[in-house]
Amino acid sequence: MVKLLNSQTVLKDRYRIAGPIGQGGMGAVYRAEDILLVGRICAVKEIAPDPEVGIDNLAQLQDQFRQEASVLARLDHPNLPKVSDYFTQAGREYLVMDYVPGQNLREIIETALNENHFIDEAKVLNWAEQLCSALGHLHGQDPPILHRDIKPSNIKLMPSGLIKLVDFGLVKLLTNDEARTVTVMQGQGTAAYTPLEQYGGDDAHTDTRTDIYALGATLYHLLTCRPPATARERFLSPGALTAPRTINPHVSPGVEEALLAALALHPDQRPASAEILWTALNSGSVPSTLAPLLLTDDEWRSTWRQNVPLVVLAGILLLAAILVTP
């Protein structure tokens, strides 16, 4: 674990560290003040390459970091934080980006669990539309950009309702140039959201459908409040993945079908793009006027008991209408 920077540390004579936001094995993310633009708060992503890689490899990694960071700095999308600066200091690499206030989606899932309810499908699909738009922008770059670590804790919900895919620390440029496959920004993802082709650090078979799997797993978790079985568990036990509607009957059948397609173990069986995934999710959702029909057996029994007098009355009126009709 990398040692955290002290509060009040100033980077590049510009960014004063206020405190850590999060920490991982390769670095940390800090909240910082921009000294030159008074009042601006930003997030500073610190990446510390393995000191054992050697001088030559370290220089290559630093060059790769700068190349990839320059690509990120050119991205402009409402659901992605804007990267405004990047630099090297004291052997560590830094990305400076917008600070995004609000809860991450992992916290929202935990709140739903504590309150013993599911997150509304319409709300999740609104987030899904924004995330698919962000992925479409990333994957549409030349060369395409993979995020490689999509999960609820890397997605922020701002007070305005806008979703931000916040962690750029594990993005990877897709390229056929073998010299560009090693990067300080490379990541292995998190088990519940990681497809088989991403295991073991072999990038030979990863492509944009790797992110599609991770997004599908994230949406599964949001709708069921339970992470899906890992790809490795499913490979060893094909029945390990529980269908979303088995856990949450309020999930639309078409949405369940789209999620299971996104979670296919083989990339060829997944939607080919974020746009295709969103089309499947959107067309598969039950309209809000019909959503109350998606009830559990207990809810149907309760509804029936509460409305027996109305059903009996309706039956009597229908019978009377039949009898008086010539």
Sequence-separated (6 or more) residues with CB below 8 Å from residue 212:
135, 262, 270, 271, 273, 274, 277
- Determine the Cα–Cα distance for residues 239 and 235; give it in Å rounded to an integer: 9
> In this predicted model, what pLDDT tens digit does every residue of 155-168 receive, in sequence order?
999 999 999 998 76
Q: The tokens of 239 are what? A: 């029945």
Q: What is the mean pLDDT of residues 248-273?
A: 96
Percentage of the chain modeled with pLDDT above 70: 82
Task: Supply the DSSP symbol for 5.
Answer: P
- Is 184 a residue whose pLDDT tops 50? no
> In this predicted model, what pLDDT tens digit does every residue of 5-46 receive, in sequence order?
999 999 999 999 999 988 876 778 899 999 999 999 999 988
Q: What is the predicted pLDDT for the residue at 113?
A: 97
Please report where in the chains the tokens 């540390």 appear, as a residue.
9
Active site members: 149
Q: What is the predicted pLDDT for the residue at 187?
A: 47
**Model confidence, pTM:** 0.81
Q: What is the predicted pLDDT for the residue at 203?
A: 61
CA 239 distance to own-chain centroid: 24
**DSSP E strands: which ranges in the chain?**
10-11, 15-24, 27-34, 41-47, 83-89, 92-98, 103-104, 145-146, 155-157, 163-165, 172-173
Residue 317's Cβ-side half-sphere holds a number of Cα atoms within 13 Å equal to 6
- Determine the Cα–Cα distance for residues 266 and 220; give it in Å rounded to an integer: 18
Instruction: Give the closest residue to 131 by CA, choosing from 170, 160, 159, 157.
Output: 157
- Determine the Cα–Cα distance for residues 104 and 110; give it in Å rounded to an integer: 10
> In this predicted model, what pLDDT tens digit does every residue of 106-131 receive, in sequence order?
999 999 999 999 999 999 999 999 99
- Is 248 a residue whose pLDDT tops 50? yes
> In this predicted model, what pLDDT tens digit does every residue of 268-315 receive, in sequence order?
999 999 999 999 999 988 765 455 555 555 554 655 566 667 767 777
The separation between the first and the last C-alpha atoms of the chain, rounded to the nearest angstrom, is 86
Instruction: For the chain, state the CA radius of gyration.
Output: 24
- Is 255 a residue whose pLDDT tops 80? yes
